[in-house]
Amino acid sequence: MTLLDPPPAAAARPDRFAAIPRVAPIILAGKVVPLTEDGRLSAIAKSPVAGPWTITVTGLVGDAQADLENHGGPEKALMQYPFDHYPLWRADIGEHPLLDTPGGFGENLSATGWTEACVHIGDIMRFGRVILQVSQGRQPCWKLNARFGRKKMALDVQTTQRTGWYYRVLEPGVVEPGDGMQIIERPCPEWPLQRLIGVLYKHVDDTESLEAMADMSVLAAGWRKIARKRLASHRTEDWSSRLGSSIQEA
């Protein structure tokens, strides 16, 4: 039996997931294009693409990343950003054309009903014939500043903890139009992404939680490394280069 097969007696999800809605994400992809006036490249601009969609262990076929050192790869194969956050951003920063439709934050998957409060690290999702697993939260970078024309957009995403999250692909395949997405396994019931992201960015000296993160096998290796280094050094890493201010602010 694979993860794609239903349980022997029933195909329904376990009752513990009954309160978590099944979602039907919009699928988005982008091409590498200049992002800044000085010609730095990015594929953060994502637009909806028609299905069917082929998903491999490195992501959505037809999507691209400019910076393969910090984006993409098996642990960041797909990024989901809650459309629930868009009205919150409009309240925070005012009307902005990037907040009118999904894709403003560089997401591959956009849906309403799932946020960092109800999705957990390590959650396993069935999406059509594809099986995904939540691998880490997002570490926002200066490209959000450039995209939104706001020097502190990346910092605001981090501070509000409205970051979105990444998936690794456990079983690649094809997603057909109309396929829904649902949680089928939860190995870390005590670790909603909200808690994980809070430890990384807010409760930075929570030793007990950092020790748990360092030993969390479902967490991406890069985040486990951050936890181990923070425990060893008793210092929080410098975020300034990642958050940056590399924009032309409106």
Residue 186 to residue 204: CA distance in whole angstroms: 25
What is the average per-residue pLDDT within 63-81?
83
Residue 7 pLDDT exceeds 70: no
* HSE-CB of 54 using CA atoms within 13 angstroms: 3
At 14-45, the pLDDT tens digits run 567 777 889 999 999 999 988 888 888 999 99
Average the pLDDT over 197-203 and give the result: 97
Q: Identify whether the C-beta of residue 131 lies closer than 8 Å to the C-beta of residue 3.
A: yes
Shortest CA distance to 186 belongs to which of 138, 221, 134?
134
pTM here is: 0.90
Q: Which long-range contacts (CB under 8 A, 24 or more apart) does 193-200 make?
A: 193/116, 193/117, 193/119, 193/120, 193/121, 193/134, 193/137, 193/165, 194/115, 194/116, 194/117, 194/161, 196/121, 196/137, 196/223, 197/116, 197/137, 197/161, 197/163, 198/161, 200/137, 200/139, 200/226
- Residue 118 burial (CB < 10 Å; 0-12/13-18/19+)? middle
- As a CATH number, domain 16-188 is 2.40.33.20
Q: Spell out the domain ranges in the chain.
A: 16-188
Band (230; pLDDT cuts 50, 70, 90)? very high
Mean pLDDT of 132-140: 97
- Asked whether the predicted pLDDT for residue 3 surpasses 80, the reply is no
Of residues 194 and 3, more confidently modeled: 194
Mean pLDDT of 226-241: 96
Residue 37: the pLDDT is 85
Alpha-carbon span 107 to 104, nearest angstrom: 7
